[in-house]
Amino acid sequence: MKNTPFTEKHIALGAKMAAFAGYNMPISYTGINDEHQAVRTNAGVFDVSHMGEFMLKGEHALDLIQRVTSNDASKLTAGKAQYSCLPNLDGGIVDDLLVYCIEENKVYMLVVNASNIEKDWNWISQYNTKGVEMHNISDKTCLLAIQGPNATSLLQPLTEVDIVNMKYYTFTKGTFAGVPNVLISATGYTGAGGIEIYFEDVDGAADKIWDAIFAAGGPKGLKPIGLGARDTLRLEMGFCLYGNDIDDRTSPMEAGLGWITKFTKEFTSSEKFAKQKADGITQKLVGFEMVDKGIPRHDYEIKDADGNVIGRVTSGTQSPTMQKAIGLGYVKTAFTAQDSEIFIAVRDKSLKAKVVKVPFLS
């Protein structure tokens, strides 16, 4: 099991640790609800250094990205990032990812899910027929996500970059906590605002940055946050989690990701997706709230009023913000309208739920 440069910090802080994607990661410190509320109302720090990063360089780098991703990366200029996915040959999804344009048409960074690093690397490599320079920099890249409405104001004294006014999905490189060449990105997985910072752990950079962040924000309530709250935060926003809500068998059209599926170019499975767009789909990912008391969990069956199976739950939790049980799941398209009545099979019971608009938080 791998460690991140911050593992000892987590242990010293009393984090509950567990294996995740081959890494020893913090699940919670003071409790998921407490950490969740800290991010929603103030600020919190996530160690997400387990994520994967690939650098693609050369005159054909953009061509390769265009070939393997669903979104249109030609729209990116230097300093802008984009959410996208890697479709497979069968109309499913290899992974979802972020594409960072470092130098237009020439240098890009792809950020992929930790559990899919080798899978994604092999998938992209097989389409690299024009000699694009590829580097897997995952093991040497640290990634901290500092999220929450007060995150940027708390951290502004640590950098000359105007992070308070950074536009969503833009980034720049600068000095952070005295460490040069830090990529500072106005992105995140919580819907609460904030930044993510990428850097190498050279000359004690990881300790320096971590300590500086908590020196600046700790007295004002900034907290370390585990992966448990990361999951409840992203679910409240309706953000898809690979392996739960999207996978090799689900299409972006079914998952509500048509907005990152651009038909201005040809890419893997683009014909299949275009046909789905034209003909319609048979199932769709929806959000739902429980009406009856109970927590929906991954892979629970979804039924209609007559007990017929119409889909399955992909993610579910008790929302700390809303104080009610919520979930995502695929259902037949006849049941996707807002307020549609559905039933979640929990053990030997069918519990009533209703389809609602996503994100769950307005």
Summarize the annotated binding site for substrate as residue ranges: 196
Pairwise CA distance, residues 220 & 199, whole Å:
25
- Residue 193: DSSP 8-state: -
**Per-residue b or e along 72-82, where b marks 16 or more CB atoms closer than 10 Å to that residue's CB:** bbbebeebbbb
Sheet with 141-147, strands from edge to edge, namely 171-176, 179-185, 194-200, 141-147, 44-47, 223-225
User: What is the distance between the alpha carbons of residues 208 and 176, in angstroms, rounded to a whole number?
Assistant: 10
How many Cα atoms within 13 Å fall on the side-chain side of residue 233?
A: 27
Q: How far is CA 138 from CA 81, 98, 199, 231, 353, in A?
A: 18, 14, 11, 22, 41
CA distances 260 to 73, 90, 273, Å, are 10, 18, 11
Judge contact between 191 and 236, C-beta under 8 A: yes
Instruction: Give the CA count within 13 Å in the CB-facing half-sphere of 191.
Output: 19
140: left (phi over 0), alpha (psi -120 to 50) or beta: alpha
Cis peptide before 359 (omega within 30 of 0): yes
Q: Which residues are annotated as a binding site?
A: 196
